[in-house]
Amino acid sequence: MPSQRAPGIYVPMLIPRGHGYPLWVPRPHSGSPIARRGIEIGDLGYLADDGSFVFLFNVCRDAQDPVNQREPPPPGFVKLDIQGHGTLTDEDRYNKNSSIRSYGMQKKSFGLGLSVEAPIPVAGEASFEFTSSREQGAVLVLPDGGKSYDSPRPARFYEYAVTHALSWFEHYNGQGRQIRNGMLYLVTGCDKCHSWANACFSRSTQSRSASFKLSTGPGIDGTVRYTWEVQNDEPVNSGVARRNSTNQTVFVRGYSISVRGGFRRIVKKPVKATMIGMKRDKPPKIGSSVPFESSRTPASTTTDSGTQGQGAETGRGAAGFGSSSEIEGYSYDEYSGSEVLESSEDESETDPSVMDIPYGHTDPGKVDNPSALINKYILDTYPDATIALTHDDFEWTGIENNVRNPLDVVELANYAIDNDLVFISESPTIPDAWVAEQRDIVMERFSRKNDIFALIIGIDKYQRKDYSDLQGACSDADKFEAFLLEDLQTPKANIVSLRDGKATRSAIINELIEMKDNTVVQQDVAAFIIYFAGYGAATTDPVGQTDGNTSNKKIEMLCPTDIGIVDKNNGIVNGIPARTINQLLSELSSFVEGNNIILILDCSYAAIPSDAQKSADVPAGTEPRQIFDPPKLSPRCDQQIYSGPGKKLVSKFGSSLLDSHVLLAACSPLQFAYESQGEGLFTRELLKVLKEWPINELTYISLIHRLDMPVYQTPLSKGSYIDQCLFDSRSRTADSYRILCHHEKDQPYFTLCAGSDHGTVAGSVYEIYRTDLPDKQHPFTTATVERVEAGVFFLKPADQTIFTIHKNRRIWYARSADNLPKFTIYCNDSNFLARILNEGVKLWLMEPPHSVNDPRLAHLCLMVDDSDVFYKLGERTTGWLFRWSLDFSPRFSFPSKVHAIAEILEIIDCYAYFTLQVMMASPLPMADLVSVEMKEVRPSGFYFELVGENLLPDAADKFVELCPFPEIQKRTYGFTVNNTSDDPLYVSLFAFNSSDLKIRNSFSSTTWLEPGRTRTFGDGNKDGGEPIKFFIPDDLDEDVTVLKFFVTEHPINPHILSLQSPFSERLIEREAWDSFTLGKRWASMTIPIILRRNLVKGDTLKPLKHGKDT
């Protein structure tokens, strides 16, 4: 690796993992006072160019302490008197055989029959392989695990550091140490171990994968020896502490310190680079990056690896085992302590970007601490600042996906600043001192690992012989468990594992019951994860149920290993129905008081052969995780669990109204979940996303969005809390204004489904984000809607390089950048509009209407023509609501006189109300709660009956076309609504007539519709309302009426939403209304009805397409 030293790769590649600053050389220097104990909280030292930490003294110990005797502290030293400065100890921070890997680095084991995730044996010989197809990578392995130490009072160290920073630099650099700004380091936390092995690589191409093999075997002194085998002379390193000590420090956390005072302006043609914070005013000119430097020959900031001993091996791996050649050295600028590259330009010494270059570029062979660049940003931005500190114990969230060059620490620092990962504030006690620390809203390393409790179930082998065994369920469960243990560092004691024969029906149910009895659970923060990989099934509800459901209702269930066999009472072992699982999780939710429960199912669970057949697109060797002939449930199966006072029966795994837990399912209800080549398709993608994305950047719904699954298997998330961060009910929730959009490979556009944002028109501008979470304040770019085709918006980004930098990213989120108010008006006479708005409108809206200068951005257009004012629908309305219409006139037939101010205001008011209600989005998917059919109604006795075919089949056009009108006006229509949810619901239907702005209530049920039941509306019955009939005004050839269904948990007052036409003679007073009128949880669906007086030439009656959720 001729152009890059190992620490220059290793440090920036592992920093994003959020453990702190990674040391390429974890062993303490053999001649150091801390050789026996290793790094400790309170140690002051500096980060050396060879990747080690050079100890100076400990601020928490007396000057007479042995560790402070070798080289006494600066004159006037007074120790920091802080009790228990190292008391936050996590003995199990790293499990045995943990590995910390850069993004994209995979691990496998081989030899001695080891499984993919098997631990490295500590005796005997075995090998462990790490591979990556990326251009750079790094890995750290901890065979014996490791411990973590953190100060409970880091603020005390900050106060101490800003008090003494200038004197430290003056003392040590006056001796010729040449400690660069930002490399002086005060330790407040560290991770230590007994043994370790690390490696890194950097290539100029992704032509083939990089591979590292770590082998273990006995050493000559009876200890364990770790040996690397690499492909292309990549740097590798390993070490074992003597005896049983834990003195090898793999990560440090603390304050990087920089100062302004005492610089000597010496410049030696450094390379120009982009500076952090260039958008701000130019900062004062700063010369050398070495404060208080001496004129004497500087001391080297590297260390001799040959003096560090303690059983370590450092080298550049060769094609065979045991290579130990030295990492080649580099020469450094005698003035700045950094390597010098020749510049092709003759820079001026007065150019601020040249004068301040030392931390503005990553030179080959040089290690820059990203925190040092943040310090530099502080000194550049705040002219009065003389001291800058940055604490590096924060998570560099998203860096892996959002920097061009992961080795460029300038990009790391820029990203941390631009994305508000750090909070910069002035010291309240020391003048002109500033500190950058972790922003409160950014989670630390996954610190809640001790609050995760899991039940992991995997079943390959089923005891009933006619059920064939699966091939990958146990392996999937093992991998998911390994993710919890290694990536989230969940304590092993918090995990219950059931595999094959141990995963019986009784064992699974007992473990679910006992979860709430765990005495170590902290009720308001605990997260419970239930993972199941195995067979699922669906059967019909047995006759004899007492829950009011029909006898042929489908029952969803999981299949334990003993399903279908004869039990000790000569009965058949049942599956575990969804209602049993849901009830147990509901009871657990009541116990933990956080609704922080996640049910993950890698199995089919609802499909039966008549619902879903194996698709022709499914490759050979891909098998469904589904039992097609499960035993029928006994009539009273688990009745003692889900029956009783106050218990609510929820018979499906997935429901949008579910508030006890979140469901992550491998497929939709009518699909199969598949496995192939010994692994489930769902678990494979699930773990891939969980490992590539920081946990605190994923919501449950965005996690599902990012799974790259085949078309025949669509994962889903269900529950009331799918917009929360993973495993943390107290954390952030998704920004409801960020809309999912996609980017397909090699396409120059983002795509956004029409209807996702009802205000979208051609020319609308969106900000593009990488997550749906609200704390990411800075968009990557903006994108403009260039065209709309077949209900899809195409957004062209302002910066096309986003598709080059992030060529493999499919999922993005768009948020409107137009910042338009809820209701906008355009007028061809701006003075007239200003006079109208200044008159004031007695509004029903949340805010007054606003004027715009572009009719494309308006909901309503006022067209002044001499003494008349005409009303015309704006494109923010027609672009969504009437995009199906061929000949609908957007101009109303009722003009007003320019002097009729009150009438104009009333029409504006009613139009605003009409528009916002008809375009109001549904908070829940309607299809999750009810199914709706529209049919023709004919007289039958005293009432009516619905006949003929359903006029609302599934189709992409999503509207209903009725013509020719002479035929249509003779007909009437009604609806059947089937409650497919587990909750009683109330149903209402409103008709929105676009030609006169009238909102009419067609029917509203006063009694609930029970789960599993169907009700007819428009049949003339008391609660069903009268049949619906459509009309077209005489002066129109085409009209649009929008039918809007609402389903709610409580009955609603139909008059609160109704609206009399403002063009009628009698206007009525109304009170304010908003969506809260409908209750906490509700859903709606719009059905646009296109009414035409005549058939379109060459057209036939197209009876009708499906409505959409809004």
Residue 1039 lies in a domain: yes
Q: What is the number of other CB atoms lying within 10 angstroms of the CB of residue 826?
A: 23
Q: Is 393 inside any structural domain?
A: no
Same domain, 576 and 489: yes
pLDDT for 592 equals 66
Instruction: Report whether pLDDT(214) > 60.
Output: yes
d(CA 774, CA 796): 23
Last residue of a domain, one of 214, 230, 254: 254
In the chain, the number of structural domains is 5
Helix (H, G, I), strand (E, B) or coil at 517: helix
Same domain, 91 and 229: yes
Q: What is the pLDDT of residue 328?
A: 27
Same domain, 65 and 143: yes
The mean per-residue pLDDT over the stretch 445-454 comes to 70
Q: pLDDT tier at 242 (50, 70, 90 boundaries)?
A: confident
**Cα–Cα distance measured from residue 415 to residue 696, given in angstroms and rounded to the nearest whole number:** 17
| 980 and 1061 housed in the same domain | yes
Q: Are residues 953 and 805 in the same domain?
A: no
Assign 3-class secondary structure to 570-597: CCECCCEEHHHHHHHHHHHHHHHCCCCE
Where is mean pLDDT largest: 514-528, 838-852, 863-877, 1027-1041?
A: 863-877
pLDDT value for 346: 37
- Give the SS3 label for residue 258: strand
Q: Which of 217, 232, 254 is the last residue of a domain?
A: 254
Cα dihedral 762→768→771→777 (10° resolution):
-120
Specify if 593 maps to a domain.
Answer: yes
Task: Looking at the structure, tell me whether residues 482 and 575 fall in a common domain.
Answer: yes
Clarify whether residues 476 and 517 are in a common domain: yes
Mean pLDDT along residues 580-599: 83
Range with the lowest mean pLDDT among 25-29, 113-117, 941-945, 1072-1076?
A: 113-117
> What pLDDT does 216 receive?
75
Q: SS in 3 state form for 110-126?
A: ECCCCCCCCCCCCCCCE
Q: How confident is the model at residue 154 (pLDDT cuts 50, 70, 90)?
A: confident
CA angle 649, 651, 652 (to 5 degrees): 135
CA proximity to 137, closest of 235, 43, 57, 53: 235
Residues 713 and 788 reside in one and the same domain: no
| Any domain includes 141 | yes
pLDDT, tens digit, 9 for 90 and up, residues 929-940: 888 998 888 887
Question: Per the domain annotation, does 239 fall within a domain?
Answer: yes
- Residue 341 Cα distances to 277, 353, 364, 858, 1028, angstroms: 24, 16, 9, 57, 81
- Among 329, 410, 423, 334, CA closest to 373: 410
Is the domain of 809 the same as that of 831? no
Are the CB atoms for 509 and 582 separated by under 8 Å? no
Residue 331 has what pLDDT? 27
Asked whether residue 662 carries a pLDDT value surpassing 80, the answer given is yes
Q: In what order do the strands lie in the sheet with 623-624?
A: 623-624, 674-676, 679-680
Q: What is residue 248's predicted lDDT score, i.e. its pLDDT?
A: 96
- For residue 258, what are the β-bridge partners? 388
Residues 872 and 966 in one domain: no
Q: According to the per-residue pLDDT averaged within each range, which of 113-127, 297-311, 336-350, 860-874 is highest?
A: 860-874
* pLDDT value, residue 953: 60
Q: If DSSP codes are grouped into helix, strand and coil, which group holds residue 984? A: coil
Q: What is the pLDDT of residues 94-127, one digit of tens each?
A: 888 888 988 878 887 554 333 333 444 444 455 7
Does residue 333 fall inside a structural domain?
A: no
Interval 892-917 mean pLDDT: 83
User: What confidence tier does 958 reach under pLDDT thresholds 50, 70, 90?
Assistant: low
What is the domain extent for residue 849? 824-918
Q: Distance between alpha carbon 661 and the CA centroid of its chain, in Å?
A: 18
The whole-number average pLDDT for the span 575-604 is: 87
- Range name among 349-363, 554-568, 661-675, 857-871 with the lowest pLDDT average: 349-363
- Measured in whole angstroms, the distance separating CA 986 from the mean position of its chain's CA atoms is 34
Distance CA 456, CA 485 (A): 12
Say if 775 falls within a structural domain: yes
The CATH number linked to 592 is 3.40.50.1460
Confidence (pLDDT) at 419: 66
Residue 136 — pLDDT band, cuts 50, 70, 90? confident
Answer whether residue 300 shows pLDDT above 80: no
In 3D space, the residue among 158, 153, 694 whose CA is nearest the CA of residue 436 turns out to be 158
Q: How far apart are alpha carbons 32 and 18 in whole angstroms?
A: 28
Q: Say what percent of the chain tops pLDDT 70.
A: 72
Share of the chain above pLDDT 90, in %: 25
Lowest model confidence (mean pLDDT) among 335-339, 439-443, 563-567, 815-819? 335-339
What pLDDT shows up at residue 313? Answer: 46
Give DSSP secondary structure letters for 551-571. TT-EEEEE--TTTTSB-TTSP
Q: Per-residue pLDDT tens for 327-364?
A: 222 222 222 223 333 333 333 333 322 223 222 333 43
Q: Are residues 173 and 223 in the same domain?
A: yes
Q: Using CA atoms, how far apart are residues 944 and 830, in angstroms rounded to an integer?
A: 54
Q: How high is the mean pLDDT of the chain?
A: 76
Same domain, residue pair 904 and 876: yes
**DSSP structure class, residue 809:** -
Question: Which of the pair, 831 or 886, is modelled with greater confidence?
Answer: 831
What is the C-alpha separation between 637 and 78, in angstroms, rounded?
73
Residue 302: pLDDT band with limits 50, 70, 90:
very low
What pLDDT shows up at residue 279?
Answer: 35
Average pLDDT over residues 404-411: 74
Name the band, by pLDDT with cuts 50, 70 and 90, for residue 696. Answer: confident
Domain CATH for 949: 2.60.40
* Closest to 1082 measured CA to CA, from 1041, 1052, 1107, 1043: 1052
4 or 730, greater pLDDT = 730
Tokens of 670: 């009518």
Q: Can you spell out the DSSP letters for 830-882?
A: HHHHHHHHHH----SSSS--EE-S-GGG-SEEEEEETTEEEEEE-HHHHHHHT
pLDDT at position 367, please?
52
Q: Which amino acid is at 779?
A: P
Instruction: Kindly report, residue by residue over 455-490, the tens digit of the pLDDT.
Output: 999 999 999 999 999 999 999 999 999 999 988 888
The pLDDT value given to residue 602: 98
pLDDT of residue 496 exceeding 80, the answer is yes
Within-domain flag for 361: no
The CATH number of the domain holding residue 760 is 2.40.30
570-574's contacts with Cβ under 8 Å and 24+ in sequence apart are 571/634, 572/631, 572/634, 573/505, 573/631, 574/505, 574/631, 574/633, 574/634, 574/637, 574/638
Q: Is the pLDDT of residue 278 over 50?
A: no
pLDDT value at residue 427: 77
Average pLDDT over residues 164-183: 88
Q: Where are the beta strands (DSSP E) in 642-699?
A: 662-665, 674-676, 679-680
Q: Is the predicted pLDDT of residue 369 greater than 60, yes or no? A: yes
Give pLDDT tens digits for 408-437: 777 777 777 776 677 787 876 677 888 887
* Alpha-carbon span 269 to 275, nearest angstrom: 16
Structural domain ending residue among the three candidates 785, 816, 847 = 816
Question: What's residue 178's pLDDT?
Answer: 84
Q: What is the 3-state secondary structure (H, E, C) of 1027-1041?
A: CECCCCCCCCCEEEE
Confidence of residue 387 (pLDDT cuts 50, 70, 90): very high
Q: Copy the structure tokens of residue 410.
A: 């300038």
- Which whole number is the average pLDDT over 69-87? 78
